[in-house]
Amino acid sequence: MTSLRFKRGDAAKLEVAFLTNGLTHSTIGDPETLAIEFGVKAGNDFGGGYLAHATDWTMPDPEADSPVYQCSPSFNTVELDSALQVGSATGTELSEITLMGEITWREGVGEPTSMRTFIVVVENDVNRGSEGVPAGAELPYPAPETVATIGTSHPAVTVAAPTAGQTTFDPATATVGNVADMFAQLLIHLQAKRLI
């Protein structure tokens, strides 16, 4: 394991499997006397206090083929809030912080054993329960009833042609021939104006 990622304010579920020779799941001691500790601190603050911590672990079934140890650390702590500057009056809350974590275990009064220090990233939370519902905005496009559709009456269009007087084109009753005639008149008009 090299890093873990959590969300501030949430309860997490951490599952840990111990491997023998990096391959085979194994147990690490007598569950009756075994104590496991998960701790998260600010980076390089080895003597400082925990920002998140858990010592209440669920031991695996002794008959399990792949034993897994579980705990549920809380990331809803005053210390994490402070590290993320939650509620800052200047609006400088951090989006996430990078911390250091470690899991240590001890059987009875024996010496503790620890896994390598790993990176713990805690992201600031977005949904906090006090936001309310966003206000609706005006539609950025026309309402459906104002959009013309097939069958809606259309005004007649008059096109002036230089040689043929005026031709009226009604889109509600026009045939393909009418459209072709109007297009031809439009071309004649544009040529007379030397636009094409």
Indicate if 117 and 158 belong to the same structural domain: no
Q: Is the Cβ–Cβ distance between 162 and 187 less than 8 Å? A: no
pLDDT of residue 130: 85
Helix (H, G, I), strand (E, B) or coil at 53: strand
Spans in the chain with pLDDT lower than 50: 161-162
**pTM here?**
0.65
The C-alpha R_g of the chain, in whole angstroms, comes to: 37
Indicate if 50 and 111 belong to the same structural domain: yes
Indicate if 91 and 167 belong to the same structural domain: no
Q: Is the Cβ–Cβ distance between 17 and 67 less than 8 Å? A: yes
Q: Write phi, then psi, for 4 (nearest 5 degrees).
A: -130, 155
| Number of Cβ within a 10 Å radius of residue 4 | 16
Specify if 128 maps to a domain. no
Q: From residue 28, how far is each of 56, 106, 174, 184, 193 by CA, in Å?
A: 16, 9, 87, 91, 94
Indicate if 25 and 110 belong to the same structural domain: yes
Specify if 144 maps to a domain. no
Indicate if 67 and 164 belong to the same structural domain: no
The residues facing 88 across adjacent strands are: none
pLDDT of residue 131: 86
Indicate if 36 and 114 belong to the same structural domain: yes
Indicate if 180 and 100 belong to the same structural domain: no
Specify if 166 maps to a domain. yes
CA-CA distance, 8 to 190, in Å (whole number)?
Answer: 69
Indicate if 107 and 12 belong to the same structural domain: yes
pLDDT of residue 161: 47
Specify if 143 maps to a domain. no
Please list the alpha-helical segments (H only) found in 11-155.
Answer: 78-83
Indicate if 93 and 158 belong to the same structural domain: no
- Structural domain boundaries, residue 85: 3-123
Overall domain count for the chain: 2
Indicate if 71 and 10 belong to the same structural domain: yes
pLDDT of residue 79: 96
pLDDT of residue 128: 84
The per-residue pLDDT for range 28-76, each reduced to its tens digit, is 988 899 999 999 999 999 999 999 999 999 999 888 889 999 999 999 9
Which CATH number goes with the domain that contains 33? Answer: 2.60.40
Indicate if 163 and 103 belong to the same structural domain: no
Indicate if 83 and 164 belong to the same structural domain: no
